[in-house]
Amino acid sequence: MSSSETTTDHKTIKTWAEKRDGKPAVIRSGGKGGVLRIDFGEKEEEFDEIGWDEFFKIFDENKLAFLYQDKTKDGKTSRFNKFVERS
C-alpha cells in the first residue's frame, strides 16, 4: 500500500523534487504570486520556471504545505504531489 506525507520543510521538498528531475514552477494568476507546481520533464507551456527562493517565498506567504508520495503501491518512484493549506 502506498502512503503520502505532508511537509513544510523546504529541504525535504527540494530534495524530493530534484530526485525526480522536478523544477520549481508557477502558473501566473491574478492572485498572490501564482499557483505553484513542480514541473517534470518537458516544460509545460503555461508553467513559468522559477528559482527555489521565489518558489518558497510564494509557498510560505500562502501558508501552504506539500503533500507527496515517495513510492507507488507497486514500489516505483512516485511523482504524486499536491499543495494544500497548512493545518
- Position 87, amino acid: S
Question: pTM of this prediction?
Answer: 0.88
Q: How many domains does the chain have?
A: 1
**Of 28, 4, 6, 17, residue with least CA distance to 52:** 17
Q: Which domain range does residue 41 map to?
A: 4-85
Q: What is the pLDDT of residues 35-85, one digit of tens each?
A: 899 999 776 778 889 999 999 999 999 999 999 999 999 999 999 999 999
Q: What is the torsion angle, in degrees rounded to the nearest 10, for the CA atoms of residue 53, residue 49, residue 87 and residue 73?
A: -120
Q: What is the pLDDT of residue 1?
A: 52
∠ at Cα 24 (66, 21), nearest 5°? 95
